């Protein structure tokens, strides 16, 4: 007895490779996270620069690269960190300017108590 031959062999589907993540998008996300943990100003600046470069690279790749979400997250982390740094500097300067009259008053009081020294 002969075994029947299978004339309808199943075709092997071609291997489908996913899109490759942009290295700049990964760097932007990592820099944004580093900006929130270890090196605030440097990490934020690096996240913003690499985020914009990654978005351009992904747009120009014609669909070959992915990682737009990582680049966007890095940009958001970087810009928010820069905004908080600027806000902190403004608050510290305002606080310092507000303290000048009080410090001047204390200096005047101290010098009036020690007339022979000053």
Residues 6+ apart with CB under 8 A from 59: none
**What is the per-residue pLDDT across 6-32, written as a single tens digit (0 to 9) for each?**
666 667 776 657 789 999 999 999 999
**What is the per-residue pLDDT across 51-109, written as a single tens digit (0 to 9) for each?**
999 999 999 998 899 999 999 999 999 999 999 999 999 999 999 999 888 888 888 88
Residues 56, 51: Cα–Cα separation, whole Å? 9
The residues that bridge with 66 in the sheet, in sequence order, are 21
In the chain, domain spans: 21-85
Q: What is the pLDDT of residue 75?
A: 98
- Answer left, alpha or beta for residue 62, where phi above 0 means left and psi between -120 and 50 means alpha: left
Q: Would you report the helix, strand and coil content of the chain in percent, each value rounded to 5?
A: 70, 5, 25
């Amino acid at each position: 007895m002969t075994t029947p031959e299978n004339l309808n062999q199943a075709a092997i589907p071609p291997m489908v490779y996913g899109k490759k993540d942009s290295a700049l998008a990964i760097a932007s996300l990592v820099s944004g996270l580093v900006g929130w943990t270890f090196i605030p100003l440097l990490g934020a600046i690096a996240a913003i620069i690499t985020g914009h470069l990654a978005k351009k690279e992904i747009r120009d790749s014609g669909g070959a690269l992915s990682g737009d979400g990582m680049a966007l997250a890095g940009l958001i982390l970087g810009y928010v960190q820069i905004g908080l740094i600027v806000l902190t500097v403004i608050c510290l300067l305002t606080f310092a300017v507000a303290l000048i009259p009080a410090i001047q008053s204390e200096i005047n009081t101290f010098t009036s108590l020690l007339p022979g020294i000053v």
